[in-house]
Amino acid sequence: MTQHRNFEERVSDFVGEVVDAMGLSVDVRVEDEADHLRVVLDGADGEWFVRRKGEALDALQHVVNAVFRGEGDRGKRLVVDCLDFRRAKDRELQQIARFLMDKARTTGLPQEIGPLNSYSRRLVHLEVSSVPDMESESIGDGAVKTVIISRKPQPRA
């Protein structure tokens, strides 16, 4: 428990130092959620992180993950959020994945979403994996790939 708490404090301190170096005024806290640690930024300058479709938030997410890669609880990811921007985008992406699953089911044709970064692809794959008759696959090269959502092949009788 102490080691876990120490990790959360180090993440919070690091993000606070980065934000201070940027000359921004935001409060940083870390929330322990079921499958990830959420680094939450709140405050007067929070809007700065969500401009331009959250590009600055994505950049900070990338830096935090690079610095703390391999640390913390196995299987728990670090998610940086500001003004609930990431939480809202995650919900939107999950809704799109559900819509595409319905479309794939009714048309019988695979559906494509993307290009997506690894974080977004993971959310789509998790959403699809919660539905027994559907499957997903990432295709493409590099860090940004497309996800194909389709029905699982029916077993032959």
Quote the crossing angle between the two packed helices 47-68 and 85-107, to the nearest 10°.
80
Please give the CATH topology (third level) of the domain spanning 2-83: GMP Synthetase; Chain A, domain 3 (3.30.300)
Q: Confidence band (pLDDT; 50, 70, 90) for 3?
A: low
Alpha helices, DSSP H, located in the chain: 2-21, 47-68, 85-107, 118-129
Residue 127, both tokens: 């959403």
Residue 2, both tokens: 């102490």
Question: Which pTM does this prediction carry?
Answer: 0.77
Residue 14, both tokens: 């690091």
Are 16 and 28 in contact, with CB atoms under 8 Å apart? yes
Task: Break the chain into its structural domains and give their ranges.
Answer: 2-83, 89-151
Torsion over CA: 148, 105, 93, 122 (sign): negative
Query: For 52-103, how does the pLDDT look when each residue is reduced to its tens digit (9 = 90+)?
Result: 888 899 899 989 988 888 776 656 788 999 999 999 999 999 999 999 999 9
The reply to whether 89-151 shares the fold of 2-83 is no
Please give the CATH topology (third level) of the domain spanning 89-151: Ribosomal Protein S8; Chain: A, domain 1 (3.30.1370)
